[in-house]
Amino acid sequence: MRLALGMAAMSVLVAGAAPAGEIAPKDVVYDEYGAVETSLTGVPGDPANGAAVLANRGTGNCVACHASTALADVPFHGEVGPMLDGAGSRWSEAELRGLIANAKMTFDGTIMPAFYKTSGYIRPGNAFTGKAAETPELPPLLTAQEVEDVVAFLMTLKDE
């Protein structure tokens, strides 16, 4: 019995030392300007993976709307959104996190997708089938760690 209690106490201590874990899309807290102060994962972002997410047309596809000289080797940069060069100087980490998670919290009329949102859509579709979504909650476009990775990459894009 003492061994079981000791093991239970040990597991509580170990669990308490673990990172808080991932914040679910519905639990993200935005400030009045749309910034998200708290990391979505508690794990630092990987700028190299963030660049890959930005360039990948199957995940972030950020280059469809934004241009960046850091990603000059990726073809067909868009001109709809602002240039990403200097993003790390223009916006704070919290502001960038908020913009990636759900830019509509900052810019109400933006056409930028909410990359970390699962509900509250006006007309969600079922992938590329032309039919309505079958469930009211959809998976986010990016994982919490991918959001952190994109933020880490954008923070490296400073004005010189």
What CATH number is given to the structural domain containing 56?
A: 1.10.760.10
Domain coverage including residue 26:
20-155
The residue among 91 and 10 whose pLDDT is bigger is 91
Q: Has residue 44 been placed in a domain?
A: yes
At 132, the pLDDT band (50, 70, 90 cuts) reads confident
The reply to whether the predicted model has a pTM over 0.85 is: no
Task: Report yes or no on 36 lying in a domain.
Answer: yes
Residue 51 φ then ψ, to 5°: -65, -40
- Does residue 12 sit within a domain? no
- Residue 53 in any domain: the answer is yes
Number of domains in the chain: 1
Whether residue 47 is contained in a domain is answered as yes
Q: Which residue has the higher pLDDT, 128 or 34?
A: 34
> Does residue 160 lie in a domain region?
no
Residues 101-126 pLDDT 10s:
999 999 999 999 999 999 887 777 77
